Amino acid sequence: MHDTTTPSRLDALKVACSACNLRELCLPVGLSDDELSSIDSIIGTRRTVRRGESLFHAGEAFSALYAVRTGFFKTVVSAADGREQVTGFQMAGELIGLDGISTDHHSCDAIALEDSQVCMIPYSQLETLSREVMLLQHQFHKIMSREIVRDHGVMLLLGSMRAEERLAAFLLNLTQRLQARGFSASALVLRMTREEIGSYLGLKLETVSRTFSKFQEEGILEVKQRDIRILDQNALQRVVNAANC
Amino acid sequence: MHDTTTPSRLDALKVACSACNLRELCLPVGLSDDELSSIDSIIGTRRTVRRGESLFHAGEAFSALYAVRTGFFKTVVSAADGREQVTGFQMAGELIGLDGISTDHHSCDAIALEDSQVCMIPYSQLETLSREVMLLQHQFHKIMSREIVRDHGVMLLLGSMRAEERLAAFLLNLTQRLQARGFSASALVLRMTREEIGSYLGLKLETVSRTFSKFQEEGILEVKQRDIRILDQNALQRVVNAANC
DNA sequence: CGTAGTCTTGAACTGCATCAACCAATGTGG
DNA sequence: CCACATTGGTTGATGCAGTTCAAGACTACG
């Protein structure tokens, strides 16, 4: 199974997909050992991105997708007039860069919100391999489709929800994803500023701050800067489902 | 029922992709004749959808994508509480149903806004064929990625633009797509109601109506119900790029 | 320890929603 | 073919959610 030569520094740096604890998030289940090691072979480089630095910028040539190993990212699209919109926050096990396939150039910036590590997935190799490994092809399509469905959900949020509903939905979504990664469902540390949350939710930072305060007054949350404790998850859920009453 | 020599009614109904005038919109360029006819072979059924009827509903099992041949569609996502959001309008040459890949069930409704025809593309066959035809695989990925990029643009619109900017951007987008299909860049007939435009743009129908009237007063548009004539395209463009001044 | 970045809170403003009336176009049954 | 209903669109008056502007507090970090 493992080779007999002495492990080099490079080997130590590189953790194979087959041994990665994020496997269930990235890869299809039911792969053979052969298929798994083919995938291992194309995930060449790991890359470290320090807080505030970019993985890529809009306009840069697209060549690879990135799977977040550790850390936290935001993706931002910019209009010609300077307006910016955060289009998503990505955590461990999530894929960044799908936008680049469309034109061979990235259409957004991907910025690390804390020191992070990503696995680089050269896109041409992914296409080649997914022609051979049916399950990989299908999984990749599902991931792209899931991104489309997610975006539609955000459009619903931006198009028809009020500030409290947006923030509640945002928090529930975050905790759900954190919980899937083994973290608490009730305590979280925000990696992004109020302004970034606001940009994502189509609100101003002051509105985000006020809404946090309101939830705290109502006993739904405990808010200490970026430390959030959810005291009443059901109440949050009720806020989201409130419609317009 | 039908012999192999004389063309049957069925043959008459079916227009091969290789002969379709929407080809450049759907398919990659540079395919061999063999590859083209493989693609022809999987585009089995054509389907007619009358105005107001659905191509599919959220929750239904996903089995195929649909390429619009003629007509006009909207896609709508619904929240548990009944809120609805139009996530897109699709015209000839555009693909509907990518959302279904994610969970094997559709996550939105697709409704015809006028009598329409679609080409059914069985998804499993598309996956099989795209493992063999590299260009098809790549084109398919580009189409999914393009949808993601488009959605991000809508998020920017919904998150940070004002009513006039949204409507101007919407009209420019529509005319651009119509122009790519050989229609006039300055005259268009809206296929959707003010309410549907409003839902897409995150506005109420009254606001859409008022904004149309405002553009008319300013001499940018001529509005007669659903007949729109663009008198000053540059002015529309300026409205979009206005930022917040 | 001070300076910059982030967050909170207050007060006033405004763009869009809401409510409501009316109009135009289209369809329906007598 | 006309009275009537229905659907979609326009316009006005009013209200409010969220923005804007501004000031102060907390935190982190060189």
Q: Options 3.40.50.300, 2.60.120.10, 3.30.43.10, 2.60.40.420; which CATH number does A9-157 get?
A: 2.60.120.10
- Categorize the per-residue pLDDT at B245 as very low, low, confident or very high, splitting at 50, 70 and 90: very low
Strand D contact at CB of residue B223, distance < 7 A:
yes
Q: What pLDDT is recorded for position B19? A: 75
Q: Is B47 helix (H, G, I), strand (E, B) or coil?
A: strand
- A137 shares contact with chain B (CB less than 8 Å): yes
| Per-residue CA distances from A52 to A13, A65, A69, A70, A92 (Å) | 23, 19, 17, 15, 17
Share of chain B above pLDDT 70, in %: 90
Contact A76, B236 (CB under 8 A): no
* % residues pLDDT > 90 (chain B): 79
Do A161-240 and A9-157 have the same topology in CATH? no
Please report the DSSP string for B87-149 in residue order: EEEEETT-EE-GGGGTTSB--SEEEEEEEEEEEEEEHHHHHHHHHH-HHHHHHHHHHHHHHHH
**Residue B6, pLDDT above cutoff 60:** no
- CA of A225: nearest nucleotide by C1' is C7
A153 interfaces chain B, CB cutoff of 8 Å: yes
Nearest-CA distance A8 → chain B (Å): 37
Q: Contact A148/B147, CB-based, under 8 Å?
A: yes
Q: Domain B9-135's class? A: mainly beta
Q: For A37-68, what is each residue's pLDDT tens digit?
A: 888 887 768 899 999 999 999 999 999 999 99
The answer to whether the beta carbons of residues A68 and A94 sit under 8 Å apart is yes
Per-residue confidence band for A14, with pLDDT thresholds at 50, 70 and 90 = low
| Cα A70 from Cα A93, distance rounded (Å) | 8
C-alpha distance from residue B54 to each of B47, B49, B57, B112, B221 (Å): 11, 7, 7, 6, 32
Shortest distance, CA B244 to any CA of chain A (angstroms): 9
Residue A16 banded pLDDT, cuts 50, 70, 90: confident
Residue type, B27: L
Q: What is the reported pLDDT for B145?
A: 98
What confidence score (pLDDT) does residue A20 get? 76
The whole-number pLDDT of residue A35 equals 82
Strand order in the sheet with B187-189: B187-189, B227-230, B221-224
Predicted confidence band of residue A12 (pLDDT cuts 50, 70, 90): very low
What local confidence, expressed as pLDDT, does residue B11 receive?
47
Q: How far is the CA of A38 from the C1' of C4 (A)?
A: 49
Burial of B34 (0-12, 13-18, 19+ CB in 10 A): exposed
pLDDT confidence tier of residue B150, bands split at 50, 70 and 90 = very high
| pLDDT in the model for residue B41 | 79
Residue A160 sits at φ, ψ, to 5 deg, of -145, 10
Q: Look at residue B121 in the predicted model and tell me its pLDDT.
A: 92
Q: Which of residues 45-104 of A touch B (CB under 8 A)?
A: 77, 79-85, 87, 98-103
| Mean of pLDDT over chain B | 90
DSSP for A2-36 reads: --SSPPPHHHHH---GGG-TTHHHHS-SS--HHHH
Task: Mark the nucleotides of strand C covered by protein, meaning any atom under 7 Å from a CB.
Answer: 6-11, 15-20, 25
pLDDT of residue B124 exceeding 90, the answer is yes
Please report the pLDDT score of residue A226 as a whole number.
97
B194 CA, D8 C1': Å apart: 8
Residue B199 forms contact with A (CB below 8 Å): yes
Query: Residue B193: which nucleotide is closest by CA–C1'?
Result: D8
The domain ranges of chain B are 9-135, 161-240
Residue A39, pLDDT score = 81
Q: At a CB cut-off of 8 Å and minimum separation 6, what does A194 contact?
A: A205, A208, A209, A212
pLDDT in tens, A178-225: 999 999 999 999 999 999 999 999 999 999 999 999 999 999 999 999
Task: Flag whether residue A9 sits within 8 Å of chain B, measured between CB atoms.
Answer: no
In angstroms, how far is C28 C1' from A35 CA? 66
A60 CB neighbours strand C below 7 A: no
Cross-chain Cβ contact B148/A151 below 8 Å: yes
Q: What is the pLDDT of residue B10?
A: 45
Q: How many Å apart are A208 CA and D19 C1'?
A: 12
Q: What is the pLDDT of residues A90-131, one digit of tens each?
A: 999 999 999 999 999 999 999 999 999 999 999 999 999 999
For residue B79, give the nearest of A168, A243, A230 by alpha carbon.
A243
Region B220-232 average pLDDT: 95
pLDDT at B244: 53
For A187 and C6, how far is CA from C1' in angstroms? Answer: 21
Does residue A239 lie within 7 Å of nucleic acid chain D, judged by its CB? no
Q: What is the mean pLDDT of chain A?
A: 90
Share of chain A above pLDDT 70, in %: 91
B164-216 confidence digits (pLDDT tens): 999 999 999 999 999 999 999 999 999 999 999 999 999 999 999 999 999 99
In 10 A of CB B117, how many CB atoms?
Answer: 18
Give the CATH number of domain A161-240; options: 1.10.357.10, 1.10.150.120, 1.10.10.10, 3.50.50.60. Answer: 1.10.10.10
Tell me which residue of A193, A9, A46, A100 sits closest to B149, measured CA to CA: A100
